[in-house]
């Protein structure tokens, strides 16, 4: 089969021929219908170095995947060949307290996982290929009626990651509250939709690009702001001076974390999801009182089921651009240039 593989850190992925995967006991091979291109993959290609992570290349990219069951390993039950499925991306040990709750993104026995702290497309061969081997059927989530793998794939990361970040703050997103989304990219554009679909908060979207702010406005953002010197007073004034109850930073740079802190409200949440590597000097007076600052990583399997339900009901509609497998590098280049909107999805083979 064909596969887009990262052969070494700090290198461009290459399209190569590799053996078709064969499922062992308990494993499943999925024929890939969609594999999302994530901004995190650019960090794998350009920044990560040997020793930073407990796993490394060579491996096939693509940690945001959906498709159809192609082959079942011995002992696998509950799935049929041809069944459309999403692939839950973080693969833990499956037995620790977090994994037993379906929160394999926070596995605490990573030494017993297929790849310590990784998954398909993150140290293990991922879905940017014709087929993908999934080491356990527990990682498969059946697609609800009305949802196809091309549109489901981005929901497994670009949807699930912001959904978890919003869901954990639901108690603060009550009528009268304000949520700020910094970065309206693959994750941020869905964060706007998730906030509008699941909370009563007013939503403010922040991005440097007018077309991204237009996308956010079309998806229900109540206010759109460019991150210039006027951003803080405009955002604070729009909240009557109180500040935002929840700020979600999908960039994670020095300037965006500083903006998040500057527009936050007493008792609020500042959640950094983006991997830009920004820092923030924390002192007693650097934030409004009792603001909680955290990062989040991906989401849980039960939350993925909720995300797929929202999408099947038309409450989440990822903006996607599809590319054939041989144009995967072009898709990454477009994302890197900032000229893409929504999510780029690689489609190895059309149709079930
Ligand atoms: C991937 C690799 C490392 C950190 C974060 C990520 C996210 O894209 C996974 O959702
Ligand atoms: Zn990702
Ligand atoms: Zn575990």
Mind listing the pLDDT tens digit for each residue in 316-333?
999 999 999 999 999 999
Residue reference for tokens 């977090």: 98
Q: Which atom of ligand 1 is nearest to the CA of 157?
A: 10
Does residue 37 line the site of ligand 1, with CB under 6 A?
no
Answer yes or no: is the C-beta of 161 below 6 A from any ligand 1 atom: yes
- Name the residue of 37, 40, 120 to mutate for ligand 1: max ligand atoms within 8 A of Cβ: 40
- Contacting residues for 18 by C-beta, under 8 A, at least 6 apart: 1, 2, 3, 5, 60, 129
Q: Which two tokens stand for residue 109?
A: 């026995």
Residue 130: its pLDDT value, please?
A: 98
Looking at the domain 2-157+299-347, which fold is it?
Quinone Oxidoreductase; Chain A, domain 1 (3.90.180)
pLDDT in tens, 179-224: 999 999 999 999 999 999 999 999 999 999 999 999 999 999 999 9
Residue ranges covered by each domain of the chain = 2-157+299-347, 160-295
How many angstroms separate the alpha carbon of residue 105 from the centre of ligand 1?
A: 10
What does the alpha-carbon distance between residue 229 and residue 244 come to, in Å, rounded to a whole number?
17
pLDDT at 65: 98
pLDDT number for residue 295: 98
Ligand 1 atom nearest to CA at 298:
10
Where residue 125 falls among pLDDT bands split at 50, 70, 90? very high
Give the distance (Å) from ligand 3 centre to CA of residue 297.
15
Q: Is the pLDDT of residue 283 over 90?
A: yes
pLDDT in tens, 296-313: 999 999 999 999 999 999
User: pLDDT category, 51, cuts 50, 70, 90?
Assistant: confident
Cβ(115) to ligand 1 under 6 A? no
* Cβ atoms of 158 and 185 closer than 8 Å: no
Nearest CA to ligand 1 atom 1: 40
Q: What is the pLDDT of residue 106?
A: 98
Report which protein residue has its CA nearest ligand 1's atom 4: 40
Q: Is 80 exceeded by the pLDDT of residue 267?
A: yes
Distance 136 CA to ligand 3 centre (A): 13
Model pLDDT, residue 48: 84
Q: Can you tell me which atom of ligand 1 is nearest the CA of 161?
A: 10
Average pLDDT, rounded, for the chain: 97
pLDDT of residue 52: 85
Residue 47 has a pLDDT of 86
Q: State pTM to two decimals.
A: 0.98
298 CB near ligand 1 (under 6 Å):
yes
Residue whose Cα lies nearest atom 3 of ligand 1: it is 40
Mean pLDDT along residues 164-178:
98
Topology of domain 160-295 in CATH is Rossmann fold (3.40.50)
Q: Is 340 in the pocket of ligand 1 (CB under 6 A)?
A: no
Q: Cα(90) to centroid of ligand 2, in Å?
A: 10
């Amino acid at each position: 089969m064909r596969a887009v593989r990262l052969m070494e850190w700090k290198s461009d992925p290459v399209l190569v021929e590799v053996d078709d995967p064969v499922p062992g006991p308990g494993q499943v091979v999925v024929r890939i219908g969609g594999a999302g291109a994530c901004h995190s993959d650019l960090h794998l290609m350009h920044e990560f170095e040997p020793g930073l992570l407990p796993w490394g290349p060579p491996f096939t990219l693509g940690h945001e995947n959906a498709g159809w069951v192609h082959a079942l390993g011995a002992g696998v039950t509950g799935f049929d060949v041809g069944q459309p499925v999403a692939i839950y991306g973080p693969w833990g040990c499956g037995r620790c307290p977090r994994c037993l709750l379906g929160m394999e993104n926070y596995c605490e026995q990573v030494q017993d996982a297929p790849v310590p702290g990784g998954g398909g497309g993150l140290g293990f061969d991922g879905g940017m290929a014709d087929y993908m081997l999934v080491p356990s059927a527990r990682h498969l989530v059946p697609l609800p009626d009305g949802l196809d793998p091309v549109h489901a794939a981005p929901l497994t990361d670009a949807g699930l990651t912001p959904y978890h970040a919003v869901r954990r703050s639901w108690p603060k997103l009550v009528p009268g509250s304000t949520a700020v989304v910094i970065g309206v990219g693959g994750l941020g554009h869905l964060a706007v939709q998730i906030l509008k679909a699941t909370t009563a908060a007013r939503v403010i979207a922040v991005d440097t690009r007018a077309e991204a702010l237009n996308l956010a406005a079309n998806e229900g953002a109540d206010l759109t702001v460019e991150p210039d010197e006027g951003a803080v007073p405009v955002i604070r004034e729009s909240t009557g001076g109180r500040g935002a109850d929840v700020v979600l930073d999908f960039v994670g740079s020095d300037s965006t974390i500083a903006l998040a802190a500057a527009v936050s409200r007493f008792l609020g949440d500042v959640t950094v999801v983006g991997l830009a590597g920004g820092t923030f000097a924390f002192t007693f007076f650097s934030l409004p009182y009792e603001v909680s600052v955290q990062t989040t990583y991906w989401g849980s399997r039960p939350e993925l089921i909720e995300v797929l339900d929202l999408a099947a009901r038309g409450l989440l509609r990822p903006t996607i651009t599809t590319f054939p497998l041989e144009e995967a590098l072009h898709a990454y280049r477009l994302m890197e240039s900032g000229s893409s909107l929504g999510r780029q999805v690689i489609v190895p083979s059309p149709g079930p």
